[in-house]
C-alpha cells in the first residue's frame, strides 16, 4: 500500500550548505510555523479564505481537496502559514470586540484578553490535542499492517486542530457576540453555541484524520460528542456550560 507522505528525518541534499541553512526553519519547526520566517511571497491568503469558508459550509469536500493537494508534496501538514495567520487575526479582532463593546475593558485588560484567547484557548488547547492524537494515532493498533511504518506528523495534527477550531472561533467569538441582544434567553444561547461548535470540532477532527489512508479504528474521536450532548441537557437546568469552560459569562 503506497502511502504519501510519512514523517522522516531531514538531511542535507546536493544543493549545498547555503540551501541547507535556508531550510533550517523547516527542519526545526512545524512547517506552518517555519514558514513564518520565509518571504511574504509564500503567503496565499486567497486559498486560505477559500478553505475557511468551505470548512464551515462543506467540510468534507474541503478535507478531500486538502488531501489531493498534499499529493504534490512530501508532507501532510500545510507549509503555507496564511490560514494560521488569518485565524490568529480573527481571534485578536474578536477579543477586541468583546473587550471594548461588552466588558468595557481597559487597554491592559484588552491585551490580556487577546493573550488569553490566543495562547490558552487556541495554542495551549491545540498543542494538547495535537500531541494527544499524535501519540495515540501513531500506535500500531490504529494503523493497517501494510502501513505500520507510516507515521503522522505532529504538524499535521496541529493543522487538524486549526481547521476544527475555526468553527469554535466563528460560533463562540463572533456569532455569540452578534446574538448579545438575546441575553433575555439566559444561558440557552451560549450553551447551544458552545455544545454545537465543540461537537463540530470533534467531527472536523475525525474528518481530518480519516483522510489519512493508513489509519483505522479512529471512531473514538467522536466519543466526546456524547459527553457534550449530556452537558447540553444539564445546561437546560440553568448551568452556564460555556462559562465553566472559560468562555465567559453571558450575564
Rounded Cα gap, residues 122 and 23, in angstroms: 27
Domain boundaries, the chain: 42-243
Burial of 38 (0-12, 13-18, 19+ CB in 10 A): middle
**DSSP-assigned letter for residue 14:** T
Residue 63: what pLDDT?
76
Residue 70: what pLDDT?
65
By three-state DSSP, how is residue 215 classified?
strand
Residue 10 backbone class (left: φ over 0; alpha: ψ -120 to 50; beta: rest): beta
Mean pLDDT of residues grouped by 10 in the chain (251 residues)? Answer: 46 40 41 51 83 88 71 72 93 92 87 92 96 95 82 91 96 91 83 95 94 91 97 92 75 47
- Tell me the chain's radius of gyration from C-alpha atoms: 20
Residue 234: what pLDDT?
94
Residue 14: what pLDDT?
41
Q: Are 149 and 6 in contact (CB under 8 A)?
A: yes
**H helix or E strand, kind and range, residue 70:** helix 59-70
C-alpha cell, 57 = 459550509
Residue 186: what pLDDT?
80
Residue 69: what pLDDT?
64
pTM of the predicted model as reported, rounded to 2 decimal places? 0.80
Q: For residue 215, which phi and psi values (nearest 5 degrees)?
A: -100, 150
Residue 147: what pLDDT?
75
Amino acid at each position: 500500500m503506497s502511502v504519501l507522505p510519512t514523517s522522516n528525518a531531514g538531511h542535507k541534499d546536493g544543493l549545498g550548505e547555503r540551501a541547507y541553512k535556508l531550510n533550517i526553519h523547516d527542519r526545526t519547526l512545524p512547517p506552518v510555523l517555519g514558514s513564518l520566517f520565509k518571504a511574504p511571497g509564500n503567503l496565499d491568503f486567497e486559498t486560505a479564505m477559500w478553505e475557511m469558508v468551505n470548512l464551515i459550509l462543506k467540510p468534507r469536500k474541503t478535507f478531500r481537496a486538502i488531501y489531493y493537494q498534499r499529493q504534490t508534496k512530501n508532507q501532510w501538514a500545510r507549509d503555507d502559514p496564511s490560514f494560521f495567520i488569518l485565524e490568529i487575526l480573527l481571534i485578536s479582532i474578536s477579543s477586541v470586540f468583546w473587550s471594548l463593546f461588552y466588558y468595557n475593558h481597559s487597554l491592559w485588560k484588552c491585551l490580556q484578553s487577546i493573550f488569553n484567547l490566543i495562547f490558552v484557548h487556541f495554542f495551549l488547547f491545540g498543542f494538547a490535542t495535537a500531541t494527544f492524537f499524535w501519540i495515540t494515532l501513531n500506535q500500531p493498533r490504529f494503523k493497517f499492517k501494510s502501513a505500520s511504518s507510516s507515521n503522522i506528523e505532529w504538524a499535521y495534527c496541529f493543522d487538524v486542530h486549526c481547521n476544527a477550531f475555526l468553527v469554535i472561533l466563528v460560533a463562540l467569538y463572533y456569532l455569540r457576540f452578534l446574538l448579545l441582544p438575546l441575553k433575555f434567553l439566559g444561558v440557552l444561547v451560549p450553551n447551544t453555541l458552545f455544545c454545537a461548535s465543540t461537537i463540530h470540532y470533534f467531527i472536523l477532527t475525525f474528518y481530518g484524520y480519516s483522510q489519512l489512508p493508513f489509519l483505522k479504528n479512529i471512531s473514538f474521536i467522536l466519543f466526546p460528542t456524547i459527553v457534550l450532548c449530556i452537558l447540553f441537557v444539564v445546561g437546560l437546568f440553568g448551568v452556564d456550560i460555556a462559562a465553566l469552560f472559560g468562555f465567559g459569562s453571558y450575564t
